[in-house]
Structure 1
Amino acid sequence: MRSLGKSILSVALSVSLLSATAQKATKPAVLKYNDYKHYVDYFNKMEDENIVQAIPNAQAWQWMTANIPLFDCPQDNFREIYYFRWWSLRKHIKDTEQGRVLTEFLVKRSYADKYNLIASALGHHIYEARWLHDQSLLDNYIKVWYRGNDGKPLSKLHGFSSWTTYAVYDRWKVNRDNNFIKDITPDLVADYAEWEKTRRHKDGLFWQTDVKDAMEETISGGRREQNPRPTINSYMYGNAKALAKMETLNGNPAATELYNKKADTIKNLLQTKLWNGNQQFFETWKEKGDSSANVKEAIGFIPWYFNIPDAEYSVAWQSLNNTKEFCAPFGLTTADRSHPLFRTHGCCKCEWDGAVWPFATSQTLTAMANLLNNYQQNYVSKNDYYTQMNTYVESQYYRGRPYIGEYLDEKTGYWLKGDEERSRYYNHSTFADLVITGLVGLQPQEDNSIVLQPNIPQDKWDWFILDNVLYNGKTLTIIWDKDGKKYKKGQGFTLLVNGKKVANQAGLGKMVWKQ
């Protein structure tokens, strides 16, 4: 029976891979997939594949050639981790009787929902997987969460705070699937109403406990403390703005106005009540003491993930590069290093009192790119963004091999659960999306324009390329070639659409192309 089961799985896998290839018969304009296969050969050999879901290691490269954009640059560690993160994400694709889904852990968790699903990183999963060529995975994964319980949401959809609706709309900017938006909007409207019913405080702010924010054992709160936090309020603002946009697409102006008003209310409350003027930072409000928690935590950067704050609040980012606050040798800490309670909760039961969590790092880096792209400020620079991305890359190794786990020591880089099976390949953050939208700077738009805002200092790399990116029905190739000799497609910054050069400029700066 075991042999027969494997045979059936193999046939299903082959059909799925062929379907993905046939659905998007695109190819890179410059690079060749086989030039990067050696990374996957190495990844396959460096481990004991003791847990196999939908796509085993032996089929990993076939799946990747059918699904991922290619990336190259002068730094081998960036290249290696880029392909490693796609290789590891593939491990989390799981076949169910309701179709394919994405898990967070490979091992089973007692607090997971059906199919071992956990909602905490759902927004991260959507951001990362929106760049896959075959979007049927995300279509199904999202619908299972909202309809997989006999047409109703899975029971633990609200087990954690979520910016899922915002992520769904940002995914639409990439694939422009209006039918999916129209179909899923009623589910997302009901979801928003449920959050208002269960988590909105009488003053209009949303509250959450640390553990339900996926951030247990913080300095600012506790596993059971019900505090208004920058996290859930930012998420609900983003979800409201996304619903307003979706209802515009669906032709419902009254609903658009309603959700814009909801978002405006949250923004006002966030900037008035959760802003600590003394510390110049967004902070948790302590309900019991009716005052600010008076501790800077990485969640104070999250409002910029959704482009919420007005310009004057950008001063908060002066803390990012301060080595006494958030900037540590192996990453951005989750709490202010100078606070007396920094890393005082012990180890290693998923404390968020200062250690580096990729979940938070990828949120902060997305927010940082938004700050660089959408605000006038002098607190962080492109060089800072590159430096933090480079640190993020360097942190994703364990015992000399590529690795992504739960959280790590900020001074040594040691993965705090690195020897636990549960921590291997932890699907709880983004990386490819940060390369595509942050470093290379492809900014998904609501119109037909292509906007590139690279956050790589011009003097850092002489060349890089992102090839075979599916975007708004087109195949993009984005090239930086300082002297034009590397790719021979022109000197400077170049955009190819469906293999044809449509734009070029000398410097590595903002580029806008309109049909």
Structure 2
Amino acid sequence: MRYQPRRGNRVAAALSSSILATALLVGGPGAGPAQAADDPNAVALDKDAILAANQLDEPQWYKDNIPFLDTPDNDIDDVYYYRWSTYKRALRYTVPGTGYVSTEYDVPIGYAGNPYTALPDATGYHLLDARWLRNRDYAGDYLDFWLRGAGNSGARNFSEWITSAAYQRFLVTGDAAEIKADLPHLIALYKKWDSNFTSDITVNGTQSSSDLYHQTPLSDATEYTETSMHSSNWFSGGPGYRPTINAYMFSAAQAISKIATMTGDSATATEYSDKAASLKAGVQNSLWDPQREFFMQVYNTNSTNGTLKQTRTTWREAMGFAPWAFNLPDAQYSSAWKYLTDPKRFGAAFGPTTLERVHDFEAEQAAVTHANTHSASTASNGKYVGQIDFDDSAVTFTVDAPGNGTYPVTVHYANGTTSTSTHTVVVNGDTANPVTVSYAPTGSWGSFSEAKSVTVQVPMKTGANTLKFTKGTGFAELDRIATNPYFNYEAIPAQQKRDDANCCHWNGPSWPFQTSQILTGMANLLQDYPAQSYVTKADYQSMLAQFADLQHKDGKPYIAEAANGDTGDWIYDGFNFSENYNHSSFNDLVLSGLLGIKPQANNTLVLKPLIPSGWDFFAVENVPYHGHTLSIRWDRDGSHYGKGSGLQIFQDGQRIHQSSTVGNTTVNVADPVTPAAQQRLMNVAANPLTAEQDWLGRTITQPYPKAFASYTNTVSNGPHCHSGQTCKPNTFDAPLRATDGWIRYDKIPDDRWTNSGSPNATDHLGVDFGAPRKINEVKFYTYDDGANIRVPASYTVQYLKDGAWVNVPSQTKSPATPRANNANEVTFPTITTSQFRVVFTPQAGKFVGVTELESWYPETPEVKIINKNSNLELGVAGSSIAPGGAVQQQTANTTANHRWKIVPAENGYYKIFNTNSGQVLGIKDASTTAGATALQWGDTLTADHLWSVVDAGGGYCKLVNKNSGMVLGIDGMSTSSGAQALQWGDTGTADHLWRIITDDGATPFNS
């Protein structure tokens, strides 16, 4: 493994009383309450020293958010903090009303299918890691994005386990009200998969009672698998009933059942508990191959599957471990794990392969001519073929190959003679060029082992190949042959050029996505299942260490898309594209797996650590749990931290547990505390959509807010090499990169504006809103490369007032002197302006850079929208959460269905979100016709979702649709509850007037 030198004094054992006094855990919006470390023994880690040693930019973010870790394994610690940085750099602020999403890549992706480069396939990992952050908004916003917001329509573009992860997040937050409010949306997401559901599937010619979900390998995030390559569509693959999607749906059904129980809805709880039980039975009865002891895909009847229709695959792929990541299989299926560490199967030095290196072709299942089948306890599958003694004796195997070439074939045999014997292998009937297999004596007949084998190279052609074993010299018995021509076929480039020309083949490479899933499953097997002999704690520790070791490049922590599991070299690592790939987990594996922190729905904390028995210490502090803050520390004899011996657990600075040993432990904790609601801020300068469209070469549809600058660097930052595609030769700094929602301080991928090369004494970077906006805070994040781009010497914030640029009055700067690679915040009394800018004075002979420029203002509180003509409130028919729910006027009540959030959008327009559904007010079919009805819809960024709020005087306003130019009114000027809202030409009638009012009686949009 790569050696990482131990950092000196990385975790000071004891903080001085002065440091301790300031070691309060202060969270941002969405964080739990600040908790003082009252017991002087509660804090043992010097967080500033840890952050400095890991060279993490913007250290305050980490202090406010992450659990701090210290273990004897330096690699694990280094990667742990690095992976928090990959999570942070993948956080993307989108727009007001949507907030934060987590992305996989650091750059826009054309195939995302959702705005803001959000993809559902790894969302489960993002939520599992983010549940350990003190700021709940990061995961909360992202969950809302999929359940209620702009991502809802694309939530099933790939297989996903969002519901399972949402429930696991609840176990950490303890916020029962939040997860219960999510229940209708989680059920709606579950039902989106109905089109992929099949009852009573047929497997290998036999109809079963199994009801399962089908998915293509590509939509399961695994293109170019062996399963794919046996179908007629190598890239997408033939659809089938897969262990992955069915495990995800099993866990979703379980979660929904548990949440429904919390709400008292026993009917729904039973319905989904039954669904989970049915899926479990289907996976175990139909996807489990009893001979190969593994979960496999069963192809469905799609035409791409040809003769494979309704058959079970015969090769093991890493997806077969997925069911354990969700505790699906019964204990009797645990034998699958014996293949994980086997170097002839999935075992590799830097993590498991995605496909087993070989699979077995049993001799007794081949075409046997003039030879006999026998039974033996040592034989694979319990049988072998002997008496291949005659000129016409033969055992003929059929082996598929993906292309013409020579492939290794291992023959497992017995030779009870005292001299070498041979078989002649005729490949595809080519008697002129046979392959000779020589068998050394094995000492006995009918006795087999892994060591009694020989490997030969066999030429094969594309498609089916016959390997006919016939008698040569002497005698030999055949147990099986083992080969897999598909393993790593076309998967690993001969030379890594960082253009990802071979990406993305999941037929052999080690893939962090599946490694994370396998480690989660292995932890569950070790923590939650009866003892078994196939994998041990040592195996978990070894594989987690391998995973940490893999996540390096040039001696520093690093992760890209996939690696060669045997060498640790990153093979899918596109330049300015794949760096810091946020598509797997690591930190949740450390916290819930290695340290064994198992959150519970009740007022307990369960520890089931998988740490090495030789560890004398570890500590994790600032762990959010049920609205409290936990610290967990193991110090065998008390000498490492000097804060007491044994295992100690602290809650909100008070010790609640101490024991002399570390092992499975259940600790009572305090009742959950829900953080007090805080008014959130919204960044009205963000414009990620324009940044995406620019990056992808698409038409710009949302020009405002528009970033501008007095001068921008004109030199290319190098190519952009998208996976599997031709490199884009040049990328450039641009003002819009500073409003794309990502905050990063890396040179690559490039995500910044700089004025490098500017002849000006000062330069500015600013934002044009396209219409007046209120702001009272500007924040920018300096980009400083330590060379020519340096933190500015000074700066000031200006705004456009009456056509002239003037300094914003009463600016309060924090810090007073600009900070490099960090946030610089300016607050001031509220101003209204259409443009602002930051004017920078560079250091002498240097230039300035900004990775993100933001302007913030408090979000408008939820409002009711009341029609003047009827005095009834705007709501959604039946309190529907479904897209297309009719918007109507209703009798006043206190339900969330009558509450709306009006948030700034592009070009001076607003979006109007229903609190109950999370969807936006729009017009049916985006019609421009008078009388078209109003409805709610997921935010698909269409113009009919945009509204002008026009003050009409007297405490009323008009809501004018951008797409049609028409106003929102009520059908027939009705005063009846339930009358439909619609758009109409502005005729000046009272039903076109609306009073927008907050709970405290304020009218934020009316004079």
TM-score (norm 2): 0.46
- Percent identical across equivalent pairs? 37
2:62 maps to 1:64? yes
How do 1:350-369 residues align onto structure 2 when only pairs under 5 Å count?
350-369=504-523
When residues 191 and 21 of structure 1 are mapped into structure 2, their CA distance, relative to the original with a 3 A threshold, is closer
Which has the larger Rg?
A: 2
Q: How big is the shift at 1:487?
A: 2.0
What is aligned with 1:343? 488
CA distance in 2, matches of 1:78, 1:27: 28
1:32 maps to which of 16, 31, 46:
46
What is aligned with 1:227? 240
What is the CA deviation profile of residues 76-113 of structure 1, one whole-angstrom value per residue up to 9, with x for unaligned ones? Answer: 22111111110111001111112111111111111111
**Cα pair 1:20 1:134 within 8 Å, conserved:** yes
SS at 1:325 equivalent: coil
How do 1:15-414 residues align onto structure 2 when only pairs under 5 Å count?
19-20=28-29, 23-26=32-35, 29-41=43-55, 57=57, 59=58, 61-97=59-95, 98-112=98-112, 113-149=114-150, 153-200=151-198, 203=201, 204-221=211-228, 222=234, 223-287=236-300, 288-339=308-359, 340=484, 341-347=486-492, 348-376=502-530, 377-414=532-569
**Cα pair 1:345 1:353 within 8 Å, conserved:** no
SS at 2:226 equivalent: coil
SS at 1:211 equivalent: coil
Amino acid at match of 2:508: G
When residues 274 and 96 of structure 1 are mapped into structure 2, their CA distance, relative to the original with a 3 A threshold, is same
When residues 313 and 337 of structure 1 are mapped into structure 2, their CA distance, relative to the original with a 3 A threshold, is same
When residues 22 and 475 of structure 1 are mapped into structure 2, their CA distance, relative to the original with a 3 A threshold, is closer
**Cα pair 1:199 1:208 within 8 Å, conserved:** no
What is aligned with 1:418? 573
CA distance in 2, matches of 1:274, 1:66: 45
**Cα pair 2:27 2:33 within 8 Å, conserved:** no
117-126 vs 483-492, which moves further: 483-492
SS at 1:495 equivalent: strand
Amino acid at match of 2:70: D
Q: How big is the shift at 1:128?
A: 0.5
Q: How big is the shift at 1:18?
A: 7.1
What is aligned with 1:467? 621
Q: How big is the shift at 1:183?
A: 2.0
Q: How big is the shift at 1:22?
A: 7.2
**Cα pair 1:24 1:134 within 8 Å, conserved:** no
What is the CA deviation profile of residues 372-414 of structure 1, one whole-angstrom value per residue up to 9, with x for unaligned ones? Answer: 0111212111111110110000000012221011100011111
Q: How big is the shift at 1:23?
A: 4.9
TM-score (norm 1): 0.90
Larger helix share, 1 or 2:
1
What is aligned with 1:49? none
What is the CA deviation profile of residues 312-369 of structure 1, one whole-angstrom value per residue up to 9, with x for unaligned ones? Answer: 1011111112111111011111111224121114342211101111110111101101
CA distance in 1, matches of 2:124, 2:322: 13
What is aligned with 2:650? 496
CA distance in 1, matches of 2:653, 2:237: 55
Q: How big is the shift at 1:213?
A: 0.3
Amino acid at match of 1:401: K
What is aligned with 1:47? none
Q: How big is the shift at 1:510?
A: 0.6
CA distance in 1, matches of 2:581, 2:348: 22
Q: How big is the shift at 1:157?
A: 1.3
CA distance in 2, matches of 1:505, 1:324: 43
**Cα pair 1:163 1:239 within 8 Å, conserved:** yes
What is the CA deviation profile of residues 43-84 of structure 1, one whole-angstrom value per residue up to 9, with x for unaligned ones? Answer: 5xxxxxxxxxxxxx4x3x121111001000122221111111
When residues 27 and 85 of structure 1 are mapped into structure 2, their CA distance, relative to the original with a 3 A threshold, is farther
**Cα pair 1:458 1:507 within 8 Å, conserved:** no
What is the CA deviation profile of residues 484-503 of structure 1, one whole-angstrom value per residue up to 9, with x for unaligned ones? Answer: 11123332222222222222
Larger strand share, 1 or 2:
2
Higher relative contact order (CA 8 A, sep 6+): 1
2:660 maps to 1:506? yes
What is the CA deviation profile of residues 464-499 of structure 1, one whole-angstrom value per residue up to 9, with x for unaligned ones? Answer: 111110111221111121221112333222222222
What is the CA deviation profile of residues 228-275 of structure 1, one whole-angstrom value per residue up to 9, with x for unaligned ones? Answer: 100000000000000001111122110000000000100001001000
What is aligned with 1:7? none
What is aligned with 1:439? 594
CA distance in 2, matches of 1:200, 1:431: 35
What is the CA deviation profile of residues 442-469 of structure 1, one whole-angstrom value per residue up to 9, with x for unaligned ones? Answer: 001121111111101211x221111110
When residues 18 and 245 of structure 1 are mapped into structure 2, their CA distance, relative to the original with a 3 A threshold, is closer
Q: How big is the shift at 1:179?
A: 2.2
When residues 271 and 86 of structure 1 are mapped into structure 2, their CA distance, relative to the original with a 3 A threshold, is same
What is aligned with 2:406? none
CA distance in 2, matches of 1:391, 1:102: 26
Q: How big is the shift at 1:199?
A: 4.3
For structure 2, the residue ranges without an aligned partner over 5 or more in a row are 1-25, 38-42, 202-210, 229-233, 301-307, 360-483, 493-501, 670-1007
SS at 1:206 equivalent: strand
**Cα pair 1:201 1:207 within 8 Å, conserved:** no
Aligned residues: 479
CA distance in 2, matches of 1:291, 1:304: 23
**Cα pair 2:175 2:626 within 8 Å, conserved:** no
**Cα pair 1:39 1:80 within 8 Å, conserved:** no
When residues 27 and 365 of structure 1 are mapped into structure 2, their CA distance, relative to the original with a 3 A threshold, is farther
SS at 1:496 equivalent: strand
CA distance in 2, matches of 1:308, 1:21: 33
Detail structure 1 runs of 4+ shifted over 3 Å in the superposition.
Answer: 17-24, 198-203
CA distance in 2, matches of 1:331, 1:201: 37
What is the CA deviation profile of residues 276-335 of structure 1, one whole-angstrom value per residue up to 9, with x for unaligned ones? Answer: 000111111133342221111111111111111111101111111211111101111111
Q: How big is the shift at 1:514?
A: 2.1
Aligned CA RMSD, in angstroms, stands at: 1.7
**Cα pair 2:348 2:566 within 8 Å, conserved:** yes
When residues 137 and 462 of structure 1 are mapped into structure 2, their CA distance, relative to the original with a 3 A threshold, is same
